[in-house]
Amino acid sequence: MTEQKTITQITEKIDGARETERQIAFMEKAAGYVQELSEKLGRKPTCCVVTFGCQMNARDSEKLSGILEKVGYELVEREEADFVIYNTCTVRDNANQRVYGRLGYLNGLKKKNPHMKIALCGCMMQEPAVIEKIRKSYRFVDLIFGTHNIYKFAELLTAMFESDGMIVDIWKDTDQIVEDLPVERKYPFKSGINIMFGCNNFCSYCIVPYVRGRERSRNPKDIIREIEKLSGDGVKEIMLLGQNVNSYGKNLDMPITFAQLLREVEKIDGIERIRFMTSHPKDLSDELIQVMKESKKICRHLHLPLQSGSTEILTKMNRRYTKEQYLALVEKIRREIPDMAITTDIIVGFPGETRADVDETIDVINKVQYDNAFTFIYSKRSGTPAAAMEQVPEEEVKENFARVLETVQQTAKKRAALLQGQTHSALVEDVNDQDPELLTGRLSNNMIVHFKGEKDLIGQIVPVCLKECHGFYYLGERV
């Protein structure tokens, strides 16, 4: 039987700068182990980071990749690698099931490659039942850590090389924010930046507050410094990340609002586009609307999760706004900034939701005319208040889901058609997957345009005429 070692939490409060130094020392140590492995293999060891879930996880994966690159791994996209990390999500159960399914596949690969190591991290690992299951049924996993101690990755990596059992290091929560660790960005011209971690809202269906812990805002000086550095490296577009950016800064020693932070970010030379995610409707201030309106850099896209259009369901969801308040907010935003694209998240099948409740949601969709919406079937997350409520039969949920989806697609199509024939600037992100003659660019409103152009335009912002609207994307021509 493999030894199962658990490192318990370091309770002593650590000073951030000293912790950065400590981790850099671990990187050097880990680099030594990777070098040894490299000599054994006769080549550079490869590593693959697979990301499930949201933008926060994508950013965390860039942090993991930065450290892996630093210690000497070659980053690859395929899972036939010497080290595979799954950065997991647990917001809905299907994300968990996908991880278990793919772990079986990894086990097969590990049997063929005796040097292979497997690590699991991210939100799913913050659930005790998951850890128990992996310990019991997936014993080939080498390292498990959670969302709070990701900054310790270099240290955990070293421990993994020094042990031949499973290492599990999960913390319940942390108040720690460690700055200045290496990051390997996926795109050279755009980047996400965490401005806060955790969530205090406790929407009754949501597991995030349990797995990401209490809300902690980063110091504005650290955020600005990071963005200045990114700008110096050629980044043009940034996305400020937080579970609820509208409550940014409230708990800092010197409180500052999100709108004030945006004003500071706007001043940074070289940054041409600013995005942010996610905005809770209950905390969206007039000050923020004003800043967005006056800004030359903030993109014309606001993601404003509705979840449900029924006030009764919203109350049970603990969202703390009514249908009417949400609609009034949207009206105010559209009045002040008419070209603002608004997108949303909707859950169908929350406990107790009736056909009439779904009609209310459809009514909101028709009134708001969303540019896009992510529609989810409610997923029961154990430990959340909604899990104990009476669930809606599956058939009913499916039917309502189809009705909501159809409405959303109609409004999105209508909104997209409005821009046909106009010229807008697009940040060129990539060569088109299907047609290498085409480039793919992103508009300020977050829509995609494909147009003919040379690869060297990637990373530039260019004007494109939106010739044909194809529902969710445009075919365009460079002007």
Q: Are 427 and 273 in contact (CB under 8 A)?
A: yes
* Cβ-based nearer residue to ligand SF4, 190 or 280: 280
Interface map 294-333 toward ligand SF4 (x if CB under 6 A): ----------------------------------------
Which of 156, 206, 302, 333 contacts ligand SF4 by CB under 6 A? Answer: 206
Beta bridge partners of 238: 191, 274
Nearest to 333 by CA among 392, 285, 268: 285
- Choose which of 2, 32, 202, 339 interacts with ligand SF4 (CB under 6 A): 202
Of 142-150, 178-186, 204-212, 397-405: span binding ligand SF4 (CB under 6 A):
204-212
CA-CA-CA-CA torsion sign (387, 391, 392, 394)? positive
Which of 168, 291, 292, 347 binds ligand 5AD (CB under 6 A)? It is 347
170, 131 contact by CB (below 8 A): yes
Q: Is 206 in the site for ligand 5AD (CB under 6 A)?
A: yes
Cβ within 8 Å of residue 380, ≥6 positions away: 93, 386, 387, 391
Beta bridge partners of residue 431, listed in sequence order: 439
Q: Annotate each residue in 228-247 with x if it binds ligand SF4 (CB under 6 A) or - if it does not, as one string.
A: ---------------xx---
For ligand 5AD, the binding residues in 284-343 under the rule CB under 6 A are: 305, 307
Contact 476, 449 (CB under 8 A): yes
Least CB distance to ligand 5AD at residue 473 (A): 23
Q: Which residue has the tokens 């889901």?
A: 401
176 binds, among ligand 5AD, ligand SF4, none (CB under 5 to 8 A by kind): none
Q: Minimum Å distance from CB 366 to ligand 5AD?
A: 19
To the question of whether residue 206 is assigned a binding role by annotation, the answer is yes
Question: Considering the complex, what minimum distance in angstroms separates the CB of residue 305 from ligand 5AD?
Answer: 4
With binding defined as CB under 6 A, does residue 381 bind ligand 5AD?
Answer: yes
Sign of CA dihedral 48, 53, 58, 59: negative
Give the number of C-alpha atoms closer than 13 A to the C-alpha of residue 88, restricted to the C-beta side.
29
- For residue 269, give both structure tokens: 């030379």
How many residues bind ligand SF4, per CB under 6 A? Answer: 10
State residue 360 phi and psi, 5-degree precision: -65, -40
- Known binding residue 89? Answer is yes
Show the DSSP H helices in 142-246 as ranges. 153-162, 208-212, 220-232
Residue owning tokens 């880990």 = 30
Report whether 47 belongs to an annotated binding site: no
170 binding ligand 5AD? (CB under 6 A): no
Binding ligand SF4 (rule: CB under 6 A), the pick from 209, 352, 385, 459 is: 209
202 interface partner picked from ligand SF4, ligand 5AD, none, CB below 5 to 8 A per type: ligand SF4
Cβ 164 vs Cβ 185: under 8 Å = no
3-state secondary structure of 469: strand
List 90, 201, 217, 246, residue binding ligand SF4 (CB under 6 A): 201
- Residue with smaller CB distance to ligand 5AD, 70 or 212: 212
Torsion of CA 124, 50, 57, 460, to 10 degrees: -170
Q: How many residues of this chain bind ligand 5AD (CB under 6 A)?
A: 12
Q: Are 477 and 464 in contact (CB under 8 A)?
A: yes
86, 151, 161, 205: residue in contact with ligand 5AD (rule CB under 6 A): 205
C-alpha 284/C-alpha 255 separation (Å) is 17
Q: Is 54 annotated as a binding residue?
A: yes
Instruction: State yes or no: residue 223 binds ligand 5AD (CB under 6 A).
Output: no
Distance of alpha carbon 152 from alpha carbon 127, whole angstroms: 19
Q: How far apart are the two ends of the chain, measured CA to CA in Å?
A: 66
Listed in order, strand segments (DSSP E) in 227-337 are: 237-241, 273-277, 301-303
User: Using CB distances below 5 to 8 A depending on partner kind, what does residue 358 bind out of ligand 5AD, ligand SF4, none?
Assistant: none
Residue 92 binding ligand 5AD, by CB under 6 A: yes
CB of 217 to ligand 5AD, least distance (A): 20
* Residues contributing to the site for ligand 5AD (CB under 6 A): 91-92, 205-206, 305, 307, 345, 347, 376, 378-379, 381
* Residues contributing to the site for ligand SF4 (CB under 6 A): 199, 201-203, 206, 208-209, 243-244, 280
